[in-house]
Amino acid sequence: MTQATQQADPWATASQAATGAAEAAKPADPNADPFASPDEIGPGESGPRGPKWAEILGRLVILKPVELLANQPVKNDDGGNQKNADGTDKTQDIYVCQLTVLGPEDVTVYSAERTKDGRTYPASNETFKTPFTWERYYAYGGGIVYKLKGLEKANKSMLLGVVQRCPTGAGYKSGETPETTAKKWADYRAAIVAGRDPAKPQFSWGLVDETPEQRAIALAWYRGQ
């Protein structure tokens, strides 16, 4: 017998492999149910939850507006709507943005236990290596929204700055600055630690100007994209 006739028939080998694959694909239980219903899988996610402003206080960030959501209700901590004196809902404009937090420190985002669509999600901490971009971040706050609305007039597409507690509109009119607002907040927290119950100072989340060194970091990130 020649060497050629001693070799395995390639067609037979392929047929055996296909038969073996088909046998392996058969469920061990003939009554098995492989299908999941949409409710079992649950709702789709729009990506990881972005940080609260307090979680990125003092961080260098880039906001790229994607969509303006006008006249949205202002929420209380319990999820209800804040009310005006006449009983109507307070409203605010919110921008859906791409939020990028630049380095070097990581960002840790805390999610409290919550129930959504009948499912309970436990409290968790998630840490993100920077730079990191959240694709759909809801940016609120009068000062930040005002600046985002001004981008088009300035012929720019992104807002760069450092997250800080800033004065309210009335605060600016009375001569407050981000520095005095930060001091008022620090004094307020110190009073609470000391066991007192002071009035909570008013502030608005905003972005303050970056340093030249921070702008260089942002430009290096942008040009590397």
- pTM check: above 0.75: no
Contact criterion met (CB below 8 Å) for 98 and 135: yes
Closest CA to 159 of 112, 222, 83, 92: 222
Question: According to the model, what pLDDT value does residue 2 have?
Answer: 44
Q: Is residue 67 part of a domain?
A: yes
Whether residue 194 is contained in a domain is answered as no
- For residue 28, is it within any domain? no
Q: Is the pLDDT of residue 6 over 80?
A: no
Q: What is the dihedral of CA 74, 75, 80, 81, to 10 degrees?
A: -10
pLDDT class of 40 with cuts at 50, 70, 90: low
Count: domains in the chain:
1
Please choose, from the candidates 120, 143, 141, 114, the residue with its C-alpha nearest in 3D space to the C-alpha of residue 52: 141
Q: What does the buried/exposed string (b/e) look like for 166-194 if buried means 16 or more CB atoms within 10 Å of the residue's CB?
A: bbbeebeeeebebeebbebeeebeeeeee
CB 59 within 8 A of CB 100: no
CA–CA gap between residue 204 and residue 144 (Å, rounded): 9
Q: For residue range 138-153, list pLDDT tens digits in order.
A: 998 888 999 999 998 9
**Model confidence pLDDT, tens digit, residues 54-84:** 999 999 999 999 999 999 998 887 778 999 9
Question: What's the domain range around 219?
Answer: 58-167+203-223
Residue 186 lies in a domain: no
Return the beta strands (E) in the chain as ranges.
60-73, 91-101, 107-111, 114-116, 119-121, 124-128, 132-139, 159-166, 204-208
Residue 27 has pLDDT above 80, yes or no: no
What's the CA gap between 204 and 182, in Å, rounded?
A: 11
Domain assignment of residue 78, yes or no: yes
Question: Is residue 13 over pLDDT 60?
Answer: no
Mean pLDDT of all residues in 21-26: 52
**Does 31 reside within a domain?**
no
Place 44 in a pLDDT band, splitting at 50, 70 and 90. very low
110 is a domain residue? yes
pLDDT at 39: 53
Mean pLDDT of 175-203: 95
Across residues 1-18, what is the average pLDDT? 48
| 17 located within any domain | no
C-alpha 56/C-alpha 150 separation (Å) is 23
The rounded distance, in Å, linking the Cα atoms of 96 and 63 is 9
Q: What is the mean pLDDT of residues 195-220?
A: 95
Q: Which of 95, 101, 102 is nearest to 70 (CA)?
A: 95
